[in-house]
Amino acid sequence: MPKSPHLQPTDLRGYARLAFDATSGLTDLVEALHGTILNPLRKKTPGQPIRTHGITGMVYRTIGGVTNMVGSGVDALLGALPQAVEEGAASPEREAIVSALNGVMGDYLAASGNPLALAMTIRSGGRPLTLTRTALKKTLPEANGRVLLLIHGLCMNDLQWTRAGHNHGTHLAAKLGFTPVYLRYNTGLHIADNGRELSALLEKLVAAWPVAVRELVIVGHSMGGLVARSACVAADLECRQTPRWRKLLKRMVFLGTPHFGAPLERGGHWVDLLLGATPWSAPFAQLGKIRSEGITDLRHGTLVDATHHPLPRGVRCHAVAATTSRATDKQGLVQKKLWGDGLVPIDSALGLHADPALALKIPAARRMVVHSTNHLDLLCSAPVAEKLEKWLKG
């Protein structure tokens, strides 16, 4: 069988757009630095770029104009080319690159209409499912009434649920008889926006499912758990009538989900503050802004807004946290607990909080901590697979 392509027909157009956008952005950055050097005491208006004047300003305006003109011409030329190859399954390498790009700047890709922006789809075998009963019967002939949806984390995609030869979805299908499907989405968008779209998409899925759905279970890794919770908030608070999928949702499992934020994003926030501390480094603070809305939402585990949202009613929730330390390692216990799996602290992953009113109140029997495991290895951990099988058995 032919290998999946590393490039889709629209990729060249998307990357070309990014290249010209980057050139334009770099020109603005250089002009801001130039203007700051010429007049370091100039009062800067918040939200307004630093501009130069006279001949210097004319040079920068000319560069920007030429860049935009050439970029528009190349975009129109590539858009007019015939699509010789039908969009289909791409290589895992291509999917990984595009997913990472969406995680970092997916909000910008979507807002600018870039073809590289990922659309939310429910998938199986690396391909999107057409959500009609006829199509699903053909694509999923073995579908039963136990539906398992797996939602990936930041900068990832549905193919990356397979790690080190293991896939929690296929494992649970073999052991417990679930029919696994996978979500792919733009992780650079606001978690709230992804949650609302997921709620609508799940309603279409259960309506088109080939057989009557008896049970819906969601397993979310990292940001995926927040998107799942956000979908529940959208269904419970923003819909006039409770969607059918929400009534069918029985259990959710969170794997390394930063319910109360991830320190990595907080560190990025401090970079913003330090770069903007002096007029000489202020222009470079723009580089620190290259973080999507989705990444920023991870700072505090934001679901919809700043309001605290408890776990959804009527759903049995389970949480798995990981730590890179060994179970017998007693030194630096507090630090290792805070560091957790290298991205998410243990307490954040388990829904624990210093304020009891904010804690998610997941019973101890539904919590698990795995040792000598990092954030990504939660996807292939044998102890995690065993615990999932036990939790979801009945």
- Domain membership of residue 272 (yes or no) is no
Higher pLDDT, residue 320 or 306: 320
| CA-wise closest residue to 222 among 128, 340, 118 | 340
- Domain membership of residue 6 (yes or no) is no
Map residue 217 onto helix, strand or coil: strand
pLDDT of residue 302: 77
- Domain membership of residue 274 (yes or no) is no
**pLDDT higher than 70, residue 85:** no
pLDDT of residue 76: 47
Higher pLDDT, residue 239 or 68: 239
pLDDT-based confidence at 337, cuts 50/70/90?
low
User: Which residues are registered as beta bridge partners of 167?
Assistant: 162
Q: What is the pLDDT of residues 139-191, one digit of tens each?
A: 999 999 999 999 999 889 999 999 999 999 999 999 999 999 999 999 999 99
CATH number at residue 162: 3.40.50.1820
Among 57, 75, 103, where does a domain finish? 103
Mean pLDDT of the chain: 79
pLDDT of residue 220: 98
The answer on 154 and 96 residing in a single domain is: no
Mean pLDDT across 341-349: 91
pLDDT-based confidence at 67, cuts 50/70/90?
very low
Q: Which two tokens stand for residue 68?
A: 């935009």
**pLDDT higher than 60, residue 117:** yes
- Domain membership of residue 72 (yes or no) is yes
Helices (H), 177-257: 191-208, 223-237, 244-248
Sequence-distant (6+) residues with CB within 8 A of 367 are 318, 319, 320, 321, 350, 351
The answer on 71 and 16 residing in a single domain is: yes
Q: What dihedral angle (degrees, nearest 10) is formed by the CA atoms of 56, 62, 68, 74?
A: -130
The answer on 344 and 307 residing in a single domain is: yes
pLDDT-based confidence at 33, cuts 50/70/90?
very low
Distance CA 143, CA 125 (A): 14
Q: Which two tokens stand for residue 245?
A: 């999928």
- Domain membership of residue 111 (yes or no) is no
Edge to edge, the sheet with strand 367-370 lists 127-128, 121-124, 179-184, 146-151, 215-221, 249-255, 316-322, 367-370
**pLDDT higher than 80, residue 232:** yes
| CA-wise closest residue to 207 among 271, 122, 292 | 122
pLDDT of residue 49: 58
pLDDT-based confidence at 103, cuts 50/70/90?
confident
The answer on 166 and 36 residing in a single domain is: no
The answer on 69 and 144 residing in a single domain is: no
The answer on 46 and 128 residing in a single domain is: no
The answer on 319 and 210 residing in a single domain is: yes
Among 37, 72, 103, where does a domain finish? 103
Q: What dihedral angle (degrees, nearest 10) is formed by the CA atoms of 310, 316, 319, 320?
A: -170
The answer on 134 and 241 residing in a single domain is: yes
The answer on 129 and 98 residing in a single domain is: no
Q: Is 57 buried (19+), middle (13-18) or exposed (0-12) by CB count in 10 A?
A: middle
**pLDDT higher than 60, residue 55:** no
Q: Which two tokens stand for residue 169?
A: 């979805």
The answer on 158 and 27 residing in a single domain is: no
The answer on 232 and 181 residing in a single domain is: yes
The answer on 128 and 46 residing in a single domain is: no
- Domain membership of residue 84 (yes or no) is yes
Mean pLDDT across 345-359: 93
Among 103, 128, 143, where does a domain finish? 103
**pLDDT higher than 50, residue 212:** yes
| CA-wise closest residue to 70 among 110, 4, 23 | 23
Higher pLDDT, residue 336 or 142: 142
- Domain membership of residue 278 (yes or no) is no
pLDDT of residue 281: 43
Domain enclosing residue 335, as ranges: 119-262+298-391
Q: What's the full length of the chain, in residues?
A: 394
Distance CA 220, CA 248 (A): 17
Report helix angle 191-208 to 223-237, nearest 10. Answer: 70
Mean pLDDT across 259-288: 55
pLDDT-based confidence at 73, cuts 50/70/90?
very low
Task: Please tell me the least confidently modeled range out of 286-290, 311-315, 374-378.
Answer: 286-290
Domains identified in the chain, total number: 2
pLDDT of residue 270: 42
Task: Using the structure block, give the residue that is written with the tokens 């949806």.
Answer: 149
Sequence-distant (6+) residues with CB within 8 A of 144 are 177, 178, 179, 211
- Domain membership of residue 108 (yes or no) is no
pLDDT of residue 104: 76
